[in-house]
Amino acid sequence: MNYPNGKKSSSLVNRNKIKKTTTFSNRGMTLEEDINNTNMYYRTTNAAIIHKKPTPVQIVNVDYPKRSAAVIKEAYFKQASTTDYNGIYRGKYIDFEAKETKNKTSFPLSNVHEHQINHMRSVVEHEGICFILVRFASYNQTFFFPALKLFPYWDSQFNSGRKSIPYQDIKNNGIEVPVHYPAQVDYLKVIDQLYF
């Protein structure tokens, strides 16, 4: 028997359960989910107001098999998005991008897009706090890397430079973000340390 949401009842799932080897690596949520939960905690405690920016999408074709089950069949991005998150903290505008990589030795710059870099430059020019959060999934480490430190790496790749930022450079020039509950990615602690 399935529930209306498509999930099987727990008794049926338990009977048909296939034995799996339990693994504890990467059992946490993705970086985005961790940040969303942290931001909710920040809003709940009135520490900061920071939200994930919605991606602007133009819906073109929708299938209505029944009124309560509309299915989007075709949609397009209206425009290139800027960064993932923005908001305000202690009177300062906050704007950042979140990236996760399984690469152990470097962060590929191909994970960031030119329009995002242009947006970040504008934020910095207007004295906003702008950065990227980079999670190295293999090490379960998340780093706060200020946009001002990102720009030279970005520019260098177009002048025969590396197309990635070495892990060691991010570790040395960034700040590892504290992980604890309920602020799973407590980047405000790093902002306090660097800016206030």
The answer on whether 125 is annotated among ligand-binding residues is: no
Secondary structure letter of residue 66 according to DSSP: S
Burial class for 104, CB neighbours closer than 10 Å (0-12, 13-18, 19+) = exposed
**Single-letter amino acid, residue 130:** C
Q: CA distances (Å), 116 to each of 72, 113, 130, 178, 179, in order?
A: 27, 5, 11, 25, 26
The tokens for 180 are: 């604890």
CA angle 60, 65, 69 (to 5 degrees): 80
The answer on whether 169 is annotated among ligand-binding residues is: no
Residues that constitute the known binding site for Mg(2+) = 82, 84, 97, 116
Which residues fall in the annotated binding site?
A: 82, 84, 97, 116
